[in-house]
Amino acid sequence: MKEEQKKIIKKKCSIRGFEYEEGSFSDIIHQYIEAPSNQGLDKVKKEIQDKWLQGLLNWSEGVLSEFIPHFKERFRNINVNSEVWGLEIDKWNWMGIVLGQLQALKWSEEVYRALYELLCDLQSTKGRIPKGTPLHQIGWVDLLRGTPESIKRSKFYMKLAMIEDILSDSKKYKNLPAYRVLKGEHNLSENNLGRIAKWVETYRKKPLENHSLRPELIYLEYVIERNNKERSSLYDLDSELANQLMEHVKKAKKQNDKGSSLEILLAYLFLTSPGFEVLRNIVSFDAQIDLLIRNLHTSDPVLDEFGKYILVECKNIKENVDAKAIRDFSAKVIQTSCNSGILVSKKGISGGKAKQAVRDARMTILKVHQRHGVVIIPFAIDQIKPVIEKQVSFLDVLISEYEKIRFDIT
């Protein structure tokens, strides 16, 4: 008598539409995503740990491709302050922890980054959402890596997590993991963390705006404020956030907003590039500097040519930059004994109807270099678009524009 074949039961994904077999890895992942309670979730977790850890390692990318569309739909229909919301966040968190414990650190970080990006995206309809969990966990993954650079990155992400905790409840942040890790693992003093907390507290009192939605912007403004004496990078360029900053530059109408929005965008690009520190609005006896860039590169002879300090002036104006503006800025660069300066504007010095004015501006830049050995780099904001879209690095653009002026390349 022939052995009776087991009947194969097919199921269909409600979001992506594909079919999968009951009892398969896809089935267990869908059960995990759709678990309605902690009790049901614990049962699925146990099955994953008992049977599917190797599958989790082999198909991490597939798991993430399931998580994003499913949870985007689920989050959309859940109240941020409900217990169900907490359950959905825990599903992401446990998956990232398991991958981290399996030393699949790349995929563990990808899980938390995807969650962070998803929560940021949902803020456009839900308002501010607490995002401390994925930021803390990205910092945790970097601690697991244990390299000098990853430990620096861990400190950065833990600070972002602490900022989120303060924005959510400024009275409880010291009892939460980010503060404890910064104080314990990263040896930051209470005074240091207290200064950051005091800075963040001012944003809690402001109307809800971009800064309150993204902790990177709060920390950026803290870092570039000279009196805070905070030396740090922002590490990872976020294209969506950079695009938002670019839109702010284009839409700014008030005079103060026009200048400050462009300064923030440039500060963000420098701080997400390795080897730079940024200070904002430096006032001397007879001049004001929009951005002062510390060039910390020591092993790259090309970047060393820029000098240890680079001045940046931001002109968010409709007109092209003329020869007078270039002479005025050049005087600041020469006076401060810097090797180079970057003059950023909407249109740069080209593209206008007055060809003579363009030639005069270009000639002024060349004369400054010939007479003083100083390179003034005119920079139009359209040149930033490929950087934001990650088609080219900000460093590569800077070097290319520097060489055009220094060697008079057309």
Average pLDDT of the residues of the chain: 92
Domain count across the chain: 3
Does some domain include residue 305? Answer: yes
Query: Of 110-114, 304-308, 350-354, 364-368, which range is least confident?
Result: 350-354
In a domain, 255, yes or no: no
Is 1 part of a structural domain of the chain? no
Instruction: Specify whether 373 is located in the same domain as 395.
Output: yes
Q: Which of 396, 406, 401 lies closest to 372 in space, CA to CA? A: 406
- What would the pLDDT profile of 230-244 be if each residue is shown by its tens digit? 999 999 999 999 999
Average pLDDT for residues 318-347, to the nearest whole number? 92
Q: Let me know whether 362 and 281 are in one domain.
A: yes
Q: Do 281 and 339 fall within a single domain? A: yes
Residues 38 and 118 placed together within one structural domain of the fold: yes
**302 plus 386 within the same structural domain:** yes
Residue 189 lies in a domain: yes
The answer to whether the beta carbons of residues 334 and 369 sit under 8 Å apart is no
Give the Å distances, CA to CA, from 122 to 160, 257, 260. Answer: 18, 26, 27
Same domain, 90 and 136: no
Instruction: Check whether residue 98 and residue 162 sit in a common domain.
Output: no
Claim to verify: residue 119 and residue 134 sit in the same structural domain? no
Residue 3 in any domain: the answer is: no
Same domain, 85 and 18: yes
Residues 338 and 290 in one domain: yes
On whether both 394 and 306 belong to a single domain, the answer is yes
Domain that holds residue 211: 130-236
Q: Hey, how many other C-beta atoms are within 10 angstroms of the C-beta on 406?
A: 15
DSSP per residue, 92-134:
HHHHHHHHHHTT-HHHHHHHHHHHHHHHHHHHHHH-----HHH
The per-residue pLDDT for range 119-169, each reduced to its tens digit, is 999 999 999 999 999 999 999 999 999 999 999 999 999 999 999 999 999
Write out pLDDT tens, residues 25-57.
Answer: 999 999 999 999 999 999 999 999 999 999 999
Q: Which amino acid is at 236?
A: D
Q: Which of 236, 261, 287 is at the close of a domain? A: 236
